[in-house]
Structure 1
Amino acid sequence: MDAGEIGLALYQALRNHGSSVPAKTTAAVGLTEAEAEAGWSELWELGLIRGGRVPEEVDPIEPDTALLGLLARQQESLRTQREELSHMLRAAESLMERYRPTVLRESPEIEVELVTSDERKRQTLAEFNASITASTGSMHPGPLPTSEVLAHSIRADEELVERGIKVRAIYSQSVDSAPRQRKYLAQLSATGVEVRLAPQVPFDLLIGDAHTAFLTANPENPSEAAIVVRGAALLRSYIALYEDCWLRSVPYSAQAVGTFDPDGELTEQHRTTMRLLANGLTDERIARKLGVSLRTVSRLVSEVMRYLQADSRFQAGVLAATHGLI
């Protein structure tokens, strides 16, 4: 028998005997529970049975009553569909009539401005800092400006950090060479700015939220006019340059300031290892150059990194070059 015939047999048995436990009705019809499962599913789906007054029992429902229930459920389903369709139409209308025209009227903001006066520079930088919402990155080859300018810069960066802005700064390693400059780097790092030092920094650059950049019109004289570049399409190259410089720089550590002893005990083998590290050689190539084992190279590299207080091989090479050890 198919599901319809099984369902009909079960329904007739219920009509003849009244409320009953499904298992008892199934047995009365001469079916197994597995055979009767599809029939019971059809009766529930058509609304021809409902739960009885006694737990686990089911009652038969008149076909006319089941039909009215089926129509009522369909009517409720259609009402829900109408509401969902009305909501979708209102949303589509809002998207097409209010939001889409606004987007179509927008054009990517691409602008290059030459700022010549000091007052306009200060005003533009203040507006820039106020507009930052996520992150800012800067790089400075040096030398550093006056103490007054540095104090103002630290206050501005501190305000950004307090607002939850991620602030990064790259300075030339030459900046970390005098007490006043070291004090500034330590203060800047203490505010929460991520500071790094690089062997070479090409020019002054400030990038905000990947949509605005400040750079000097004449890298030879940063105090002259500045260029303001707006628009993500124009900033891609500057951002790529900055990120490359960031990866090639080493984290600044205020604790390491003044602790390096250039007159410490170093063998010629250590100095050669430093030079090879700075050139980017692997341990295997260093071992061949020195004519020693890999274990010896590993020991030499560890001693060099400990001596230089370096966190990585790359940083050790950079620090060795900075302190004139290679």
Structure 2
Amino acid sequence: MTTDDATSLAPVGLGPFDEEVYRALLTCVDATPAALAERLGQPEGRVDGACGRLRALGLVIRMSGRRRRYTAVDPEAALEALVRERAGELDQVRGSALALSSIFHAARRQAGGGSTIELLNGPEEQGRWFVRLQHQVRSEMMVLDRPPYVLAAVNPVEPVRLDSGVHWRAIYAPEALEIPGAMDEIDDLTRRGEQGRVLPGLPLKLAIADRRIALLPLSMELGHAQGLVIRESTLLDALVELFEVYWARATPLGAPPVADGVPSAAPDEDRQLVQLLAAGLTDSAIARQLGLSTRTMRRRTRRLFDALEATNRFQAGLQAARRGWL
């Protein structure tokens, strides 16, 4: 009995002969190694060994009784468990790749070869590197986020990495929050553990993984996109410091409403409005995020200004910060 590459179970750890025995056992309710050996035209001892290995993988179970008889476990459940196990092993390998890459490039720098800086040409290459950094980060991710986007604005990798325990800080340009659905996504990421802030006038995009490697796009024009991969160096240290400066200047998103240790009595809708105002979004963008007409949003803004005794966004932001709304 043979299988082609499309149906082979080799990726989950089965050798060709063990798979042949497994497939034979699937076609009957149960069988002894002797019966399987006769059916396959193989020595009984070899088939018995294969049954033992299949049992260790959780694909078959030994039935009670003095004679060795085996029956197959439902393949859908058994193989899914093996797939999950292999996926976990591959994630561990992926997580080690960044550390190994640092060792690789450090050795070449010490020997006079290799480079601290790698030039990337084209948006596709930058997109692949951004996904790679997210998969490889082990403890901390620092991101400056602003349009335009090489990949889709929705990032499917970050929630998975947040759930795995990665500490994630992101600073958004106001333009990033104006994209429909952006605030809903950020709210979800915040619940998962992301710390998000917003900074008007954010001039660049940046991603730093574990303070050891960074991706720095050089242009905001997707048609002529170039970028740099920057490994451990004084330049990388400077980019880390730049992120921290921006972080200190940025306005928190979704911060808990506390002031002097006492929860604020501000309604959630007012806190959300003042956060969007402080973020620098336009009236129309704020209205879109809140699901309101621009006219209704402006009426709410005037009422908010009155409540905060403010005449403009800056004053409202100061008053809101004093009350713990930001």
Q: TM-score range by the shorter chain?
A: 0.3 to 0.5
Larger Rg: 1
Normalising by structure 2, what TM-score?
0.46
Normalising by structure 1, what TM-score?
0.46
